[in-house]
């Protein structure tokens, strides 16, 4: 019996021993530097989706644009 959060299809697939190819759909990430931390966003088409944020300033967590799952279209608009 396995106690894991990894889907069983991934554990028991035949592809588990094959090396990953660059042609596989690997997401592209961008780190946005804040004054007291950073935000990591995943590219989704022409925009970025916020994955997570690390900051020592608690007011950064109150900014709605950095909520995980929100989309960032133009990264130059943010006061970072």
Facing residues of 52 across strands?
A: 40
Q: 14 lies in a domain?
A: no
Q: 21 lies in a domain?
A: no
| Averaged pLDDT in 10-residue chunks for the chain of 80 residues | 78 63 73 90 89 92 90 69
pLDDT at 56: 94
Q: 64 lies in a domain?
A: yes
**Burial class of 6 by CB neighbour count within 10 A (0 to 12, 13 to 18, 19+):** exposed
Q: 19 lies in a domain?
A: no
Q: 15 lies in a domain?
A: no
pTM, two decimal places? 0.61
Q: 72 lies in a domain?
A: yes
Q: 17 lies in a domain?
A: no
Residues of the domain holding 50: 26-77
Domain count, the chain: 1
């Amino acid at each position: 019996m396995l106690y894991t959060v990894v889907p069983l299809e991934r554990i028991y697939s035949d592809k588990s021993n094959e090396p990953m190819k660059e042609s596989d759909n690997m997401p592209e990430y961008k780190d946005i530097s804040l004054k007291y931390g950073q935000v990591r966003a995943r590219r989704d088409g022409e925009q970025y989706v916020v994955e997570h944020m690390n900051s020592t300033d608690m007011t950064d967590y109150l900014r709605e644009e950095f909520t995980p799952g929100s989309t960032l279209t133009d990264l130059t608009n943010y006061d970072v």
